[in-house]
Amino acid sequence: MHGDNLDRVLGWLGRLLRIFVYLTLILPAVIVIATSFTSGDAMQFPPKSFSLRWYQAFWESTLFIDSLTLSLKLAFLASLFSLLFGFAASFAIERRDFFGRELIRAFMLSPLLIPAVVLGLGLMQLQVWMGISQTFLGLLVGHVVVTLPYVVRTLSASMVLLDRNLEQAAMSLRAAPSRVLRTITIPLLIPGIISAAVFAFVTSFGNVSLSVFLGAGGNVTLPVQVLAYVEQTVDPLVAAVSSLVILFTLVAILIADRITGPRSVF
């Protein structure tokens, strides 16, 4: 009887802890979104009156629209190159047995362990030496370095879970390795590829620390532009921009879950 009461108390404590974690994650976003609809000139929560004036101000701002365009272009290209390099690296690591394989795996994942400021400073100094500092190419290279570990981890996990009997069956029917890869392996890895692409895109789109060091000379991404705007003034325009970023990220995650998840969230 005493054990049942203890289990019941622990169950309630677990539920309260989960609720606390959910509220901690959700409430800041809810407050930002609600603040973005205020009609006043200063941030207010809850808003005394609701208006879309700050969303209109965002779409009329050339500064923010240019930064948004750059961020989308950068995130798309970074995701694309990360997928290309990450797929090749993951395939070699998981399908080949060679000397130094674990060392290469650790090297590919090392950007996750290095502090973002240290990584940004190091890449900036390297790009100055290479002559590509403060260019779009340099910014793209930096974002590929940051997003590549997420792609490698996701695709490596997908390859480990892949049923290789299907590939072996195709090869037993004398299918060429390239055809097996094209018609069997890649289609089976589509959910993992989409998940890796979403991870890479969202990571690149929301990156601040690296973009501060590498983005200059007109290459100012949206998060960096928001940070610079906040340093000068604080008004609901920042909340409107942040709300759009939250909405965009949520839609991307829901679409990825819809395509790759075993159960739809819709």
Question: Which tens digit of pLDDT belongs to each residue from 76-97?
Answer: 999 999 999 988 888 888 777 7
Collapsing DSSP to helix, strand or coil, 109 comes out as helix
How far, in Å, are 111, 135, 199, 225, 258 from residue 215 at the CA level? Answer: 19, 7, 21, 10, 34
Q: Write down the pLDDT at residue 77.
A: 93
pLDDT of residue 266 exceeding 60:
no
This prediction's pTM: 0.80
Closest to 82 in 3D by CA, of 178, 207, 233, 228: 207
The Cα-based distances of 84 to 34, 78, 88, 116 in angstroms read: 40, 10, 7, 23
For the record, the structure tokens of 139 come out as 């910014």
**For residue range 203-250, what is the model confidence (pLDDT) as tens digits?**
888 888 888 887 766 678 888 888 888 777 777 788 888 888 888 888
Give dist(CA 260, CA 192) in Å, integer.
7
User: Span 177-197, mean pLDDT?
Assistant: 81
Distance CA 148, CA 43 (A): 38
Distances (CA, A) of 74 to 7, 117, 127: 51, 20, 17
Q: What is the dihedral of CA 122, 88, 252, 182, to 10 degrees?
A: 170
Whether CATH 3.30.70.890 fits 61-260 = no
Q: In terms of Cα–Cα distance, which of 66, 215, 201, 77 is closest to 138?
A: 215
Indicate the average pLDDT of the chain. Answer: 80
Bridge partners of residue 50, in order along the sequence: 38
Looking at residue 265, its pLDDT comes to: 35
- Percent of the chain at pLDDT > 90 equals 5
In angstroms, rounded to a whole number, what is the distance separating the alpha carbons of residues 197 and 203? 10
Angle between helices 101-109 and 136-161 (to 10 degrees): 130
Q: What are 248-251's contacts with CB under 8 Å, separation 24+?
A: 248/205, 249/202, 249/205, 249/206
Alpha-carbon distance 237 to 249, whole Å?
Answer: 19
Q: Taking residues 10-15, what's their average pLDDT?
A: 76
- Tell me the backbone φ, ψ of residue 194, rounded to 5 degrees: -65, -45
51 contact partners, CB below 8 Å, separation of at least 6: 37, 38, 39
50 pLDDT more than 70? yes
